């Protein structure tokens, strides 16, 4: 059977990374996505970021270390659960996150130009099914 989705998803993900690199040479794709997430949510726990992006825990820690080292984010102990950390944007992080968000918003707007709501819902449903099928929770089934 010929693969119909996997190569296209991979290629598209790679192209998004190249797009980010063209517009923000100092950020990796993972860094840019985390900054955008924080631009939309204001703050997030490490667990929330893990759920949002499905990075390995060690990869997520490395990305957060780089962002913190450049003064773009802070990690503080959660007031609600002292075992958790809350990640927030610094002042310079908010500026950088807003820039990256505008860049990716432009890309998404261009990609969705002319797409109707029904097509977008169908596409999102297929992506969710691919993600669910590939999730660690389904391993070995």
Average pLDDT of 104-132? 94
The residue behind tokens 């999730």 is 135
In a domain, 120, yes or no: no
Report pLDDT for 140: 52
* pLDDT above 90: percentage of residues in the chain: 79
Instruction: Quote the tokens at residue 11.
Output: 């290629």
List, in sequence order, every residue forming a beta bridge with 44; answer none if it has no partner: 87
Are the C-beta atoms of residues 65 and 48 closer than 8 Å to each other?
Answer: no
- What CATH number should be reported for the domain holding residue 83? 1.10.10.10
DSSP labels, 81-96 = -TTSEEEEE-HHHHHH
In a domain, 115, yes or no: no
Beta carbons of 45 and 85 less than 8 angstroms apart? yes
Mean pLDDT of 19-37: 95
**Is residue 117 in a domain?**
no
Q: Please indicate, yes or no, if residue 139 is contained in any of the structural domains.
A: no
Rounded average pLDDT over 88-105: 96
74 falls within a domain = yes
The domain tally of the chain equals 1
Percentage with pLDDT > 70 across the chain: 96
Q: Which domain holds residue 61?
A: 6-110
């Amino acid at each position: 059977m010929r693969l119909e989705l996997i190569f296209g998803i991979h290629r598209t993900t790679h192209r998004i990374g190249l797009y980010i690199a063209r517009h923000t040479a100092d950020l990796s794709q993972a860094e840019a996505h985390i900054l955008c997430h924080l631009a939309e949510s204001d703050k997030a726990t490490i667990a929330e970021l893990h759920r949002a992006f499905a990075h390995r825990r060690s990869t997520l820690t490395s990305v957060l270390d780089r962002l913190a080292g450049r003064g773009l984010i802070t990690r503080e102990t959660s007031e609600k659960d002292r075992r958790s950390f809350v990640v927030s944007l610094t002042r310079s992080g908010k500026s950088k996150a807003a820039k990256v968000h505008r860049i990716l918003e432009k890309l998404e707007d261009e990609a969705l130009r002319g797409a109707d709501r029904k097509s977008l819902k169908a596409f999102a449903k297929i992506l969710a099914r691919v993600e669910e099928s590939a999730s660690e929770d389904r391993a070995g089934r």
